[in-house]
Every structure is written in structure tokens, then in C-alpha cells.
Amino acid sequence: MFDIGFWELMLIGLVALVVVGPERLPKLAFTAGKWLGKGRSVLNAVKSEIDKEIKAEELKQILEKQKQQLNPFEEVIEETTASVREMKEEVHGSVRQGEKAFGSEGDSYSRFGDSAEVAGKQKDDNRQQSG
């Protein structure tokens, strides 16, 4: 980190021994070690927070890319929904026209139902006769 070699550390230790004295040097070394440990822990905490923020930003970018990729699917879904609605409206319009052509609503359903029942009975009769 600071690119300090062995001889530089020896020189710093010798100067500290002369300036502080041999009695107070162990306490000074202990205090310096505590401060150095606290500094490293703070530095590691800041580094981890920065890493978390970078990862969060990367995740946001990935989510944005996925949303952009999903937009064509949403457009297809909207187009399909619109066409289904149009078809529904056309069918309702056709049913209304059929009701007008055949008369009241009850008559049109009964007429359609009667023809379906007759066709079903004819199929059943044909099965019984052939079997």
C-alpha cells in the first residue's frame, strides 16, 4: 500500500525508540496497532459499501435491459388483445343482425336450438339404425 520495505520500517522503529523512549514504546506500538486496525476496518467497510452500490447499479441496468427486451412481447399482447376485442365486437354485431333478421331474441335462440336438436336426433337415429 505505502510501498515501505524492511529497512524503512527499521529506521522508523529506531527513530521512535529514540524519540519516545524504551518505556513508552510498547504502549505506543499497541495504540498505533489499534488505530491501524480500526482504519483498515473502516476502509474495508467503505469498500464493501461501494461494491454493493456498484452491484446494485449493475442489477438496475440488467433489469432495464430485460424490460426493453420484453417491450416487443407487450406490444404483441396488446395487438392480440385489440384484435380479439375487434372480433368480439364483430361477433356481437353479427348476433344483433341475426336477431333482427329472425325476430326477437328468444325466437332466434329457440330456432337455432331447435335445428341443433333436430340434427343431433338425426345422428342418434342413424347410429341406432346402423348398429
pLDDT in tens, 115-124: 555 555 555 6
Does the predicted model carry a pTM greater than 0.85? no
Distance (Å, whole) CA 80 – CA 67: 20
- Please give the share of the chain, as a percent, with pLDDT higher than 70: 76
- Residue spans of alpha helices (H) in 21-130: 25-102, 105-130
Q: What residues does each domain of the chain span? A: 7-125
Distance (Å, whole) CA 32 – CA 56: 36
Q: What is the mean pLDDT of the chain?
A: 81
Helix axes 105-130, 25-102, angle to 10 degrees: 90
